[in-house]
Amino acid sequence: MANLEAKDKMSPWQLGLVITSGLLTARLLPTTTLLIRDAQQFGWLSSALAGLLFYFAAYLMIRLGQQFPEETIGEYVPRLVGKTLGFFIFLIFITIPLLNIINCGITITSLYSTFLFDQTPRVILLITLLLTVIYCTLQNWGTILRVIQILIIALPMLYMFYSLIWINFDLLNLLPLWPDNFTGILQPIPYHTDYYPGYEALLVLLPLASRGKISFARAVGWGFLVVTFMYVLGIIVLVGSLTVKTGAMVSTPVIYAMKSVELPGTFIERLENYMITLFFPVTYISMVISYFVVAEGCRKYFKCKDHRTFIPIFLPLIFFVSIFVDNPERHAILIKFSMFLAMFFSFIIIPLLLFLAWRMKGRTQRCPTE
């Protein structure tokens, strides 16, 4: 049956929504311990600075994408740096979302396995999760976009639920008000690759967005602003309700804080279970976006007809890496590797590519006949 209208394009606001929904995942749960350990009471300041920094990276990506409208990174990178180096950069690019999928999968299944199932085999949870992600990624972009717009409802619900820890908030836990260790505030900024993952998707999703009244940079900026605000407020309340000492000691401070909330006279108990359940759709969205970005990026790079071709190719890789990372030590190494790769890509490769794009454009303008 003919589709009477093209539904694969999105508005700038939708692009902003997609990028925003990709940012918040369960990945932040274990990293919060490191953040509180290093930045102590000023974790919120660290998150705010990180938000600014990562938005800058996203902005650079938007500018780069705008140099090559209707093209994804895989298409223009070989023109900028040559075929071999281009392939290498493309490989780094697709590794970042793949690592996001793996990290998200490991975190969410570990959470369920630990808190809801008394150590039920993680493999079973992982297989079902990956199959569900694949089912969504096999759809066209219009359908994926609809799924994102519906499941994103879980995000405000999650935040409202999380806000219950205000009950245990104590202002004294936030003292001192003035930091004496500024290095401690800057030190955890790289860890925020777990707080702000997935914005690299812009390099593939920009051609799918149509220009509107609002610029892409502004739409994405609003998304970053909202998420940064959520993080800042979230860390203030977390430290305020847990103390720095406890927060830096437990493996998942957010869940721990939720566990200590009691709502006397209400029906519900074990609030952390509800919270973990709400983390599922939120993380799922990020996994779907990342998988689609990998498949669509490859489709464009290898000039194939359909992004679906590449979905089964990466499944064994994701599954076996996720299974291999079966203990906290290996997971910590994976998190570090993901962090370095994301930082390297965002703050070294992208500015370099943008510089080369500007230079190439300048040359073309000077010699239009070439």
Partner 1 sequence: MGSSQHYRFHKLSTVQPNSSTLETLQKLKKLQNLVQQSKVAAANIRQVIKALDKVAAQAGQPFLFSKCLEINERLVRNTLARCDDVKYRTFRAGQAKALLVYINGLTDTNKLETNVIDCLMLVIDSAKYEKRQISKAENEDASKGPHDSFNETLSDNIALVRRRTKDSDLKVEILEIGARTKTSVALLYIDDLVKPGLVDEVRNQLLAIRIDMVILAANIEEFLTNQVWNPFPNVLATERPDKTVAGLYDGRLSIIIDNSPSVLILPVSLQDFMQSVDDYTTRPSVASLIRFSRYISAFLAIFLPALYICVVAYHPGMIPSGLSFFIAELRAKTPFPASIEALLMEALLEIFQEAIIRLPQKLSAAAGVVGALVIGTTVVEAALANALLVVVVATTGLASFCMPSYTFATALRVFRIPALVAAATLGLYGVAIFFVVMIVYLCSLHSYGESYLGDLFDITLLEDWKDGLLRFPAKFLKSRPKRLGTIDKTRKGDTSGKS
Q: Which CB sits closer to partner 1, 29 or 64? A: 29
Query: In the complex, what is the shortest distance from the CB of residue 201 to partner 1, in angstroms, rounded to a whole number?
Result: 18
**Site for partner 1 contains 5 (CB under 8 A):** yes
Any idea what the Cα angle at residue 127 is, between residues 121 and 129, rounded to 5°?
105
Answer for which of 8, 66, 117, 156 binds partner 1 (CB under 8 A) is 117
Answer for which of 85, 150, 313, 348 binds partner 1 (CB under 8 A) is 150
| Residue among 228, 282, 167, 197 at smallest CA distance from 43 | 228
Q: Which CB sits closer to partner 1, 7 or 211? A: 7
Tokens 């490769």, residue located: 349
Query: In the complex, what is the shortest distance from the CB of residue 18 to partner 1, in angstroms, rounded to a whole number?
Result: 11
Query: In the complex, what is the shortest distance from the CB of residue 287 to partner 1, in angstroms, rounded to a whole number?
Result: 11
Q: Which CB sits closer to partner 1, 92 or 151? A: 151
**Site for partner 1 contains 260 (CB under 8 A):** no
Alpha-carbon gap, residue 108 to 283, rounded angstroms: 8
For 58-83, the DSSP string reads: HHHHHHHHHHSTT--HHHHHHHHH-H
In this structure, what are the phi and psi dihedrals at residue 39, rounded to the nearest 5 degrees?
A: -90, -10
Residue type at 89 in one-letter notation: I
Q: Are residues 74 and 297 in contact, defined by beta-carbon separation less than 8 angstroms? A: yes
Query: In the complex, what is the shortest distance from the CB of residue 152 to partner 1, in angstroms, rounded to a whole number?
Result: 8
User: Does the CA dihedral 330-344-180-33 come out positive or negative?
Assistant: negative
Query: In the complex, what is the shortest distance from the CB of residue 330 to partner 1, in angstroms, rounded to a whole number?
Result: 23
Residues written for the chain: 370
**Site for partner 1 contains 42 (CB under 8 A):** no
**Site for partner 1 contains 280 (CB under 8 A):** yes
Tokens representing 31 are 């990293």
| Residue among 10, 11, 20 at smallest CA distance from 225 | 20
**Site for partner 1 contains 344 (CB under 8 A):** no
**Site for partner 1 contains 127 (CB under 8 A):** no
Which positions lie near partner 1, rule CB under 8 A? 1-5, 7, 11, 13-14, 17, 112, 116-117, 124-125, 128-129, 132, 135-136, 139, 142-143, 146-147, 149-153, 267-270, 273-274, 277, 280-281, 284, 305
